[in-house]
Each structure stands twice: as C-alpha cells, then as structure tokens.
Amino acid sequence: MTAITEDHTRRAMAKRDQWARNRTILLLLLPGAGYLLFFFGLPLLRTVVGSFTSLDGAFTFDLWVELFNEPVYIDGLFFSLWLAIAPTVVALVISVLLAALLQATFPGRRIFGALYRIPLVVPGIVAAFLIMVMLDRGGMLSRIAEPLGIDLPRMVRDEWGIGAILASTWKNIPFMTLIIGGAMSAINRDVLHAARTLGAGRLTVLVRIQLPLALPGISAAVLLTFISSLGSYAIPNLLGPAYPLPLSVHMYEQGFRRGNWPIVYAMGTLLSVAAIFVLLAYYSLIGRLTGSHARRGSRS
Amino acid sequence: MSDTRRQKREGRWLAVGLYGYLALVMFVPLVVIALWAFYDPAVGWYPPDIVPTSYSVEPWREVLADRGIIGSLVLSLIISTTVTFLTGALAFPTAWALAHFPFRIKRAVEVFVLAPMIVPGIVVAVSLGEIFFRLGLTQTVLGVILVQTVGTLPLMIRILTATLEGIPGELMLAARTLGASPRRALMRIALPMAWPGFLAGGLLSFISSFEDFEKTFMVGAPGVQPLSVRLWSYLGGEILIFPTAAVVTFILLAPTLIIFFIAERLMKENVLAAGMGKL
C-alpha cells in the first residue's frame, strides 16, 4: 500500500519536475527564438501567404500566373540564378586552390592568413566600387590596356553581369576559403603522408583525398555563397545591366517605388523556395555522405 | 637535409605566388581608391593617365566639411553598438537552453535559428520594410536596429551555443550545491566562461551591423543614413562621385578593419569555420 502511494508521489513529482523543466526551457528560448519568430518568421509567413492572396483577401494563384507569364520576371529569375551560380563556381575553384595551398607552410603565412580575409568584412557596395574603379570604362585596367592596343570588353553594366559576378566572387572567396580550409586542416595528416609515400602526386592527393574528405565543409560553403549572392541587391544594382534585372532589384522597385506588394511577395517566395531547395539538396548530400561512412564503418 | 631545403624553396615560391595574388586582388584596387581620395579636383584625373598628375586633400576637406558624414559615422557606431548588445542579450538564454537541455524540439529550434541565414536577406528586409511602414517604424533608428538584429542573431546564437556546450553542466551544479543562488551561479560561472563566445560573436555582430546596407536601406532610407547608406547615395545615384565615395569608403573601412584585426587576434582560430562548417 505504502509502496504504491510512494510510487504515485514519485511519478507526480517527476511529472511536475518535467513540467517545470519545460517551462524553463520555453522561457529561455523566448528572447532569441521568440525574436526571430516575430521579426523573421512573421514577415516570411506574410510573404508566402501574400503571394496567394488577391487584393480582396481571397485565395488566388493569379500572382503566380502573372509572375510566370511576364518575360521581365522570367528573365529576372534566370538572371538571379546566373548571378548566384557563376560567382559560386568561380569562387569555389579559387577557394579550393587557396585552401589547399594554405595547408602548406611558407614565409609570411600568418600575415597572409589575416590579410586575405579582408573582403569578409568589406560591404558589398565597397566591393562594387572596387570593381568600378578597376574595370569600368576609364578604370585602371582600361587605362593600362589602351596604350598597349588591347580593347577590353565591357565589364560593368554589361549584359552578362561580369562586373557583378566578379564583385560577388571577390567578396565570397575568403569566406569559402576559411570554411574549406577548416575542413581540410581537420583531415588526419597521416592519411596525406601515407598517400604521398605510396606515390600519389600532389594533385592526386588533392582530388582523391582532400576534396572528398572536405566535402561537408565545401558543400556548406557553396550553399551559403549561393544564397548570399542570390539575394544580393547592391552589387547587381550598381554593376549589372539595365536589362535583365535580378528579382532582388525587381522586389525593391515594385515594392517601394510602385507599391505593387503582391507581386513582391510572389518574387520573395520564389527566391526563398530556390534557397530552401538548395538547402535540401545540401542535407541529402550530407545525409548520403555520413550514411555511406556509417555503412562502411559497420561493415569493417 | 636536401629535402628540407627543397621544402624551403617551395615555400618561398608559394609565398611569392600567394602574395602576388593578394597584391593583384586587394592592394592594387585599394591603392586606386586611395588615389581617387587624394586626387586634385582642380586638375582632374582623366584617361590615359595611370596616376593623377596632381594630388590634394581637397576631397577629404569637402567630405569632412559636410557635417552629414560625421553624423553618419556617429549614427553607424551607435546603431552597431546597440545591435551588438541587444544581440548578445537575446542570444544568451536561447544558446543556454540549446547547449544544456536535451529536448525533443531541439533540432527544430536549431534549424529555425539557422533559417535567417538560408532565406535571402532581401526577402525579409523588403517584407519587414512594409510591415514597419505600417507600424511607423520605417526611417527610424529603432526600426534599423530591429531589422539588423535579425541578421546578427543567428550567428551569435550558434557561436554562444558552441561555447556553452564546452562548459560542463556539473560546474553549475557544483556551484549550486555549494550554496550559490541561481543568479550568483550564472553571474560567477556561466557568464565568465561564455566570455570568449560573447567576444567573438559580439565582434562579428558589430562588423556585420556596421557594414550592412540592404536591410538598413530598405527600412531606414532616406531618413536614417548610416555610413553604408550614405556611400550608396554617392554611387547609386544618377551621377557617380568617385572622390567622395573613395573618402567615405576609407571612413567606413577603417573602423571595420581595426575591429576585424582585433577580433582575429582575440578569437580562437576559425571560430567562423567551426560555426558555419556544418549547418
């Protein structure tokens, strides 16, 4: 009899403890997560809901129909993707090389390690300004090339967005190098030495060992660079052509200049979906990587 | 013996190559901007001149005579400081919960905290701009602080969580057992031990707030003009004003770079890589 009541009270106390714990956790989460819920979750929800709402508040697909039937926006979507993919690819190639080279020791390595990161904290506008003074007509490069008889192609406000791509690339290289370098330096040195001893060249070691083992870091860097370039506004606005405009610029123009908010919400939702799509691709890649490691591990 | 000598020689070539790269992509552009900041407007600097034929401090005098720039600098500093402290205060309890309590929805909260880094910033900036307009928060300093905090909070929570995970839970328990009140245990044990995280996250928050343009512009312009928005007005308008923009660039970069190098010295290697290498 007493045993049962004791058991009961213990269970009741455990329950009360559990409840108190949950309340504590909730209270602790409230400032940070609550803030994001209010100032990030709410606007995002509003964007998504707004993209399906007509002016009189009814559910509608009209905005999406409009978005996908307007060549200006279709071109804008492809240009946004282009301005996100191209810098990611270029920055990735350079960053992998830099990260691999930075694994070696050389005189002045510490100072280089600090200096190459400067673009990390340089605002996009300043990156755009650098490109302007260097590559625009009358910029430094054309002043050097002209006496040599070299006619440079247009690189600022050109139709391929070369200036914008170079600015995004410049800004993202240190970030990618930092993350990829971190992943590479976590690789066990003995593995690299073993491969070298067994006769693998440097390139083979890089391609067959360092890159696959650093893949989680590489894919994270690719993901974040892609997303930050996808939504960038200042760089394409300053360096990009008058047509096509990326969706980020359309969003500002349609929203704040014309007050055409519903279409802005549709574009915002589209950009977010593109970003989340890439995130899911990342998770499935990581899942497959760790999954195959686990399988291999259990087999041995 | 010859092996190490070969390594040394290779290291030297590597250094030459890497510093050459650095000079090409970093120093040359900065020097060109410096030339624009010190050119002589009376003489001008036209192609094909590689360097200006005459120098002056006229651009600086012009910019500094314009009271607005100093005001913008002060405003930038005030906003970034406030954002940094607000971010730290908001992030700490959440990071504490994420680090020390295993709970079922933990992964969901982690993903949600990460979400502002995934959703393109422009989406939230534009949408918040519209909501703040209805609330009368556009073109106010408060509105700018609120929107910038959305950008700084996720990284701060991640860095603090990583730091706090390194503090053994028994330590707090021991303090409590020895008679410390929860508040005292927090003040004397948890906060001091979380200090490296606060420092790293705080410096990164400050920089990211100081250099932010897009969120600030969507919510604050044209009423609130920190440095980045002011720089935009010299570059994004109908006429480009290179010399003024060059001077403002240096005023904007100087505090950022100083803080950045302080952060580099103080932070453990690769806080950012550790924080972002796995999402």
Residue A300 above 60 pLDDT? Answer: no
Burial (CB < 10 A; 0-12, 13-18, 19+), residue A226, is: buried
The predicted-structure confidence for B197-253, as pLDDT tens digits, reads as follows: 898 889 889 989 998 999 999 999 888 999 999 888 888 766 778 888 999 999 999
Which residue on chain A is closest to B160 by alpha carbon?
Answer: A32
- For A181, the 3-state DSSP assignment is helix
Q: Are A96 and A211 a contacting pair, CB within 8 Å?
A: yes
CA angle B108, B124, B110 (to 5 degrees): 15
Q: Is residue B11 part of a domain?
A: no
Q: Is residue B20 part of a domain?
A: no
Among the partner-chain residues B109, B150, B246, the one whose CB lies closest to the CB of A33 is: B109
Inter-chain residue contact B94 with A29, CB threshold 8 Å: yes
A vs B: CB pairs below 8 A: 267
User: The domain containing residue B135 runs over which residues?
Assistant: 67-243+266-276
The neighbour count for residue B188, using CB atoms within 10 Å, is 12
ipTM of the predicted structure? Answer: 0.89
Average pLDDT of chain A is 89
Q: Name the nearest CA neighbour of A92 among A197, A252, A223.
A: A223
- More confident position, B241 or A263: A263
Among the partner-chain residues B96, B115, B211, the one whose CB lies closest to the CB of A121 is: B211
Q: Is residue B60 part of a domain?
A: no
The predicted-structure confidence for B87-146, as pLDDT tens digits, reads as follows: 999 999 999 889 888 777 888 888 899 889 889 989 999 999 999 999 999 999 999 999
Q: Is residue B32 part of a domain?
A: no
Burial (CB < 10 A; 0-12, 13-18, 19+), residue B11, is: middle
Q: Is residue B128 part of a domain?
A: yes
Hey, CA dihedral for B91, B94, B97, B98, is it positive or negative? negative
Please report, for the domain that includes residue B131, its CATH number.
1.10.3720.10
Inter-chain residue contact A25 with B113, CB threshold 8 Å: no
Q: What are phi and psi of B122, to 5 degrees?
A: -60, -35
Who's near A166: CB < 8 A, 6+ residues apart?
Answer: A87, A131, A135, A155
Q: Is residue B149 part of a domain?
A: yes
What are the CA-CA distances from residue B113 to residues A120, A192, B100 (Å)? 22, 37, 16
Residue A296 above 70 pLDDT? Answer: no
End-to-end, the C-alpha distance of chain B in Å comes to 45
- Tell me what percent of the residues of chain A surpass a pLDDT of 70: 96
Which residue on chain B is closest to A269 by alpha carbon?
Answer: B123
In this predicted structure, what is the pLDDT of residue A297?
44
Which residues in chain A are closer than 8 Å to B121, comparing Cβ atoms?
228, 231
The predicted-structure confidence for A62-117, as pLDDT tens digits, reads as follows: 999 999 999 999 999 999 999 999 999 999 999 999 999 998 888 988 889 889 98
Count of domains for chain B: 1
Q: How far is B4 from chain A (nearest CA, A)?
A: 12
Residue B51 above 90 pLDDT? Answer: no
Q: How confident is the model at residue A160 (pLDDT cuts 50, 70, 90)?
A: very high
Q: Is residue B22 part of a domain?
A: no
Range in A7-11, A248-252, B125-129, B136-140 with the lowest mean pLDDT: A7-11
Whole-model pTM over 0.80: yes
Q: How confident is the model at residue B39 (pLDDT cuts 50, 70, 90)?
A: confident
Q: Is residue B36 part of a domain?
A: no
Tell me the average pLDDT across A265-283: 93
In this predicted structure, what is the pLDDT of residue B167?
80
Q: Are B143 and B137 a contacting pair, CB within 8 Å?
A: yes
Burial A15-35 (b: 16+ CB within 10 A, else e): eeeeeeeeeebeebbebbbbb
Range in A60-69, A217-226, B34-43 with the lowest mean pLDDT: B34-43
Inter-chain residue contact A125 with B253, CB threshold 8 Å: no
Residue A169 above 50 pLDDT? Answer: yes
Q: How far is B240 from chain A (nearest CA, A)?
A: 10
In this predicted structure, what is the pLDDT of residue B261?
83
In this predicted structure, what is the pLDDT of residue A8?
78
Tell me the average pLDDT across A50-61: 89
